[in-house]
Amino acid sequence: MIPAVSGKNTLSQFKFMSDIRSLDVAKDLLNFLVLNSIGIISPDNTILFSEVDRMKTAILALRSGCDIERIAKALESFASGNMKELGYKSSNKHHTYKIPISD
């Protein structure tokens, strides 16, 4: 997942937070996200992400064939952070198992 998909960022902040070295790659990624209804680019060129944009990013990643285990771990970390912000204690020491499904 992309760490910078939250709040309000400049292009430089988005590039830095996402650990992207190329400005052109950061711009292309932002345009891709916006075309997929994730975030908006305001008239002053700041990038605004809503509360649900991380979930939309995860869904887009799944649809694009990304590794579900990596996405699950990123979402778990995101949810844990949200719970801590709300004053709850949480643990990220869960195990994910793949269970075969028979038809």
> What are the extents of the domains in the chain?
8-85
Give 71-102 pLDDT, tens digit per residue. Answer: 777 667 766 666 777 787 766 565 666 667 77
First-to-last alpha carbon distance for the chain, in angstroms, is 32
What's the pLDDT score for residue 40? 92
Around 51, how many Cα atoms within 13 Å sit in the side-chain half-sphere?
Answer: 2
Task: Say how far apart CA 34 and CA 38 lie, in whole Å.
Answer: 5
Give 43-67 pLDDT, tens digit per residue. Answer: 888 999 988 888 898 888 888 888 8
Res 1 pLDDT > 60: no
What's the pLDDT score for residue 54? 84
Q: Kindly report whether the global pTM for this prediction surpasses the value 0.85.
A: no
